[in-house]
Chain A
Amino acid sequence: MGADEKHSELTAELREEIGRFRQSQVQSLQAQGKVVGCLGSMVPLELVRACGCRAVRLLEAGSAQDFEAAAELMGADTCPFCRCQIGRRLGGRSPQAELQVLVAANHCDQSRRSGQVFGQHFNVPLLPIMVPATWEDQSSLEMYVSELRWLGEELAQITGTFPSQSRLEESITAYGAARRAVGGLLEQLGNTPVLAHELVCLLGVADPVSLVGFVAQVRGQVARLASGESVAGDRPTVLVVGSIMGDEDISLLKALEGRCRVVQATCSGRMFVDLQVELKGGDAIEGLGRAYWEQLPSVRSRPNSPFYHYVNEMIQRYKVDAIVYRSLKFCDLWSLEAVRFKQEISLPVLALDCTYGPGQASLVDGRVQALLEMVEEARR
């Protein structure tokens, strides 16, 4: 068996394992307390879990069928990611179908409104939380922390479990370990971005303790996969930023796979994995809030300089050669920023406006190829 074949076989094996683990986690959802969907990266899973709930960060999206299924409740000109949340519930797909409570952040206008549609139409209690877009004044962070306290109290009313300091600490530690475990593997999976993405998405749906166990189980396979990559060092590094990437939203990653090293830095990528909450004995909710506030820079922040700062940091850290700036169709926050982004960043930037439609893959593939040819040319 040649090196490439071996590589493909190992990749396929790992993907299967991830799929199986994911399946088992979804099946066990309801056995672990109320299933609480978290819409938006700023809803801390740690807090939800500390309230005796099973926290699910909603990252499942990307299929054209789910997108279409939402047509009866969502207009054609709405965010595909948001539409999928509705479409999956309508189609009985997990984990949206299992949600018993939804926590929706006003991360953008569309997630705020689609959270309302979800709550209203499916009769799921909706807990909306305000995540300020402004940050220059201390009051914004204080408001966010105050929202988290409120959320904890509200969930405690539903579950009877108050997020005490010790419960929070346990939960923060568990998620911290899971993030570190996944993060450790990601460093070796730069050349297999689809696999890396599927692994990251596990963080959204899995119980963190089980996830740590799973990562320990596959660590050897990942190492074997990485060690078999002979040409990896020569490949350019591409940073992916932009709209959230759902678990099935992989056409871009597929187009990049095998051609470059990929660092996926959307809010469902590195950012989600790298987050670490430091517990220095202080108030756990405050520490949690501060960590999310400071470590998840968003294009939606006003002003959004922290986001640019983050991108520049990633460029330095990973010695990035080019950037794919990806917006989802009808996502104003990302798509209207694209031209400015190109002006602000001094690297080749490919801006893509993506849908979940069937023609997407070939379109993306051609443009990615052109970008990489340009990068290769510059490197010569």
Chain B
Amino acid sequence: MTDRARRGDLESGREEELALLSCEQADAAVAEVDAEYRKQCVYRAEGVEPLEYFQALSSYAEAGDHLLTRLRFDPSPAGLRLWSFVFSERKRLFAARQGGLKIFAVMKDLGTMPVLTYALAKAVTFYADELWWSPCLMEDTRLLDAAEAMGCHDQCCYVRAALGAYELHSHFPEPDLSIAAVGSCCDDFSAIMQLIAGRGHKTIFWELPLRKDRAAHISREQFAKTFDGESWYQRRALDFLVRQFERVKLAVEQVAGEQIREEMLRESIRRANKVRKLVRQIRDLAYGTVPAPLAGLETMLCEFLAIHYCSDPIQCAAVLEDVLKVVRQRVELGQGVLGGGAYRTVWAMPCTDPSIVQLWEKMGGCVTGTEYLISHSRYRIRTDGAPLRALAEAVLNDPCIGTTAFRAQRVVEEVRKYQAEGVIIPSIFGASHCSYEIREISSAVHRQCGVPVLSFEVPFSSKGVSDQVMGRLQAFAELLEQRRKKAGTN
């Protein structure tokens, strides 16, 4: 919790709730934004026509992400800029291609490989994984249908939309190289990455190693801890990873026609660390302050920016700096976008349908901690020693490459750190790891934190949140309310 919350400002009545905006209201607010500010919101890259992205959110809805019309948005220019920035990525990618930049698609490692590719000035990188929430955003099944035609049915999670997008060329230009992380990862995406490569898209595979936990019966393995992130790993895994990175680096250099020198990589790491720090600061304030100065979805967008900068590292940092400024001001003024009494919940899976997060907030809940499968992307990357080795080490913080218990512990830490009253696991339909994780996370949270866990499956729907999900959330809110009454804290 922040100092302000601890100081007891809540009781002093300084709390002020800011209203979120509808899409229409957001458009009006965007139109009123100062021209000078708007001028800062431009994607610039060598050889590429400058591209202004701060636009009416409805224009992004019209371009395909229809769900935006049903969402509510932070009223600040910084918040609106954040949304615009995220939803304009597609335009940036096509502009970059037109400008002759190299396009790298990265997959599955969620946070590390772009640090390597962004060492190059004339390249952009995006995660094909991002397409994962597109069916819900688009409120249509086009991408899923295209994937289905290639045998990728609903036994697989929504990441199959990435395969559809490769096929339809709808969301990104044909990448010059796809960089696919396989090995200790989910079977869903592993299968899809193979199908993508099998369709003739130029792909290099690299290995995510299995991270082993220390255990009493394991005595012949030498373990070390990551520089930041406190993750134990077997030393051999790091040496192996360095060789994987060397291989990918070579392939990237061949495609780019340029060598990535150590100082270029160091600079890229410095930039990544800056973004990561901004994200840590934002989420600490957003999750740790009552009333919440930033809503769940805006904070989630910030968290996801850390993995790939939404194809523009420079604007990404500027957007986050802006958001941080607003969040700090709000904390200072006691302003929040949600009521001070919101039920504090950690979300232990990213929600494919973002409107569910807002539904929870409407029901009186808030997001106050997360483990979105990308927590490794916010830890600092070592700046001493060989930069490639530093990157490799950063991979070893990935919550998905080790035991289920490891990730469960990350959730427990979030619950403790942000004093959550409950945990919500919006299970990803078709994701092979979810079944295992729900059990493990639930039991670890019950055992170690004594707070309830709600898990439910998020089905695809173009007609809004299902009654079943609504009912489950409502019942969970009631449960948390009863617990407060019992504890005498409401």
Contacts and interface: CB of A to CB of B under 8 A. Distances in A.
Dominant secondary structure of chain B at its interface with chain A: mixed
B220 A337 contact: no
Nearest to A340: B198
Among A109, A146, A157, A340: residue with most chain B CB under 10 A:
A109
A126 B194 CA distance: 30
Interface in B199-246: 203, 205-207, 209-210, 212, 215, 217-221, 236-237, 240, 243-244
A302 interface: yes
Contacts, number: 146
Interface string B20-46: 000000000000000000000000000
A75 B438 contact: yes
A113 B436 contact: yes
Given A157-B220, A158-B217, A336-B195, A113 B205 contact: no
A156 to B, nearest CB: 8
Given A128-B212, A137-B247, A339 B191 contact: no
A302 B436 contact: no
A329 B156 CA distance: 11
Dominant secondary structure of chain A at its interface with chain B: mixed
A112 B210 contact: yes
Contact of B432 (A109, A125, A126): A109
B468 interface: no
Among B203, B405, B432: residue with most chain A CB under 10 A:
B432
Contacts of B203: 303
A129 B220 CA distance: 13
A140 interface: yes
A106 interface: yes
B63 to A, nearest CB: 30
A133 B236 contact: no
Interface string B170-186: 00000000001011111
A107 B308 CA distance: 29
Contact of A139 (B197, B219, B240, B434): B240
A332 B185 CA distance: 12
Interface residues of B, number: 51
Interface residues of A, number: 51
A243 to B, nearest CB: 12
Nearest to A119: B215
A355 interface: no
B479 interface: no
B150 A330 contact: no
B315 interface: no
B193 interface: yes
A73 B485 CA distance: 33
A335 B215 contact: no
A108 B186 CA distance: 8
A263 to B, nearest CB: 24
Interface string A70-99: 000111111000000000000000000000
26 contacts: A75-B436, A78-B435, A106-B210, A109-B185, A109-B433, A112-B210, A116-B436, A127-B218, A130-B237, A133-B183, A134-B183, A146-B236, A150-B236, A154-B218, A157-B220, A302-B183, A302-B194, A302-B205, A330-B432, A332-B190, A333-B191, A335-B155, A336-B152, A336-B191, A336-B192, A337-B151
Interface of B: 150-153, 155-156, 180, 182-188, 190-195, 197-198, 203, 205-207, 209-210, 212, 215, 217-221, 236-237, 240, 243-244, 247, 403-405, 432-436, 438-439
Interface of A: 73-78, 106, 108-110, 112-114, 116-117, 120, 125-130, 132-134, 136-137, 139-140, 143, 146, 150, 153-154, 157-158, 300, 302-304, 329-333, 335-340
Given A133-B205, A154-B217, 8 more contacts: A125-B217, A133-B182, A133-B190, A134-B182, A143-B236, A146-B236, A302-B193, A303-B203
